A = this chain, B = another copy of it.
């Protein structure tokens, strides 16, 4: 129904992007400022962190997106612009600078920041390099923009798909960053999604929440919900499909493509969690309700003890039952089965809430892979959910023992 393509946020018609080093980060080989611009005005919605301590850019973006319209996204790394007394003023001035150079209204710009909390953000690098950033804009600029938003990320997270609506070719493109302070409660650290689909503001606002709840909000790296989480979806309508104005077949089709993109990004963020060596996928089956399935999946994927066991490739399923037990979900312990699965095979380790005889050797083989699936069958209903996470490693401790210096 849809196929993977190249081009990231520039895959949809009418989008350009750029990423440069402007001097916020000390390391000159690291880009630290990114821009995404649409040729025409977009319908645009964002989801934000539910952390009560929010980055200044989030307040400014919320203001700018009240009318659900935007033309550009500007984002820096190396400084979160959070807990700074003049943070909102700085975020405002970044939009002013960018708007002036682009000849668009500052209110039509989405602004985001990621990096250390509580260090003053100077406007100087933005003043000195805004024209460089804009001169670098290109329909091939998605990779640069993706690099400009990375912090401790080790791989780029960039995806795009092509699909059809009413015979019109449509696209969705996206870039994201993750790594640490990842336990999104609304969206993840930063994800920017572009599309040339025509969709009403109302439907855009619906679809973004439906999709984020099942994707980014089901990822955990370390249980710490960041202050700057934000996902922004811009749709410029240049695909010329008939505008989506209700939850019809076309809405469902667009939602499926968006769900696919956001699932890819979520998995990529989990797999590239700080210090991670393994992607963990927790599938909870046959739950009473979707909510119960989600609670169980997220509790298991968040357990430090389970995460450390997965790093050690130890089939310590008791820690899974323990994490299910301290969650708020509704289930019958006596019915729970647990399997581990990877490319090397599948093994049952717990049946009816108790131990099931298994070969430790075979289990260790299965857990030696870098993508592990934990399958929890509650045998208690028809709903299911998936959560993504990663193992807890020496490197997570190393990276976070000395992040600022």
Interface residues of A: mostly helix, strand, loop or mixed?
Answer: loop
Q: Is A240 an interface residue (CB 8 A)?
A: no
Q: Is the CB of B305 within 8 A of A180?
A: yes
Residue of B nearest to A317 (CB): B118
Q: Whose C-beta in chain B lies nearest to the C-beta of A308?
A: B400
Measured between C-beta atoms, what is the minimum distance from A101 to chain B in Å?
A: 30
Q: Select from chain B the residue with minimum beta-carbon distance to A82.
A: B318
| A223-B223, A318-B80 as given contacts; A397 in contact with B401, CB under 8 Å | no
A400 to B321 alpha-carbon distance, docked (Å): 16
Taking A225-B322, A397-B397 as known contacts, 7 extra A-B pairs with beta carbons closer than 8 A to each other, sorted by chain A number, are A83-B318, A223-B302, A224-B305, A225-B325, A314-B402, A314-B403, A394-B394
**Which B residues are CB-close (under 8 A) to A51?**
322, 325-326
A85 at the interface (CB under 8 A from B): yes
In the complex, per-residue mask of A224-239: 1 if CB is within 8 Å of any chain B CB, else 0 = 1111000000000000
Assess A397 versus B393: contact at CB under 8 Å? Given A226-B322, A354-B118, A355-B118.
Answer: yes
- Residues in B with CB closer than 8 Å to A319 are 117, 181, 224
Q: What are 29 A-B contacts with C-beta separation under 8 Å?
A: A50-B326, A51-B322, A51-B326, A52-B325, A53-B322, A53-B326, A80-B318, A83-B353, A116-B316, A117-B318, A117-B321, A117-B322, A118-B355, A181-B305, A183-B326, A185-B326, A223-B223, A223-B302, A224-B303, A224-B323, A224-B326, A225-B326, A227-B325, A308-B397, A308-B399, A311-B401, A312-B403, A314-B404, A314-B405
Q: Are the CB atoms of A322 and B355 closer together than 8 Å?
A: no
Give chain B residues whose Cβ lies under 8 Å from the Cβ of A342.
Answer: none
CA distance A402 to B117 in the complex (A): 35
A402 lies within 8 A of B326 (CB): no
Chain A interface residues toward B at CB < 8 A: 50-54, 80, 82-85, 116-120, 180-181, 183, 185, 222-227, 302-305, 308-309, 311-312, 314, 316-319, 321-326, 333, 350, 352-355, 392-394, 396-405
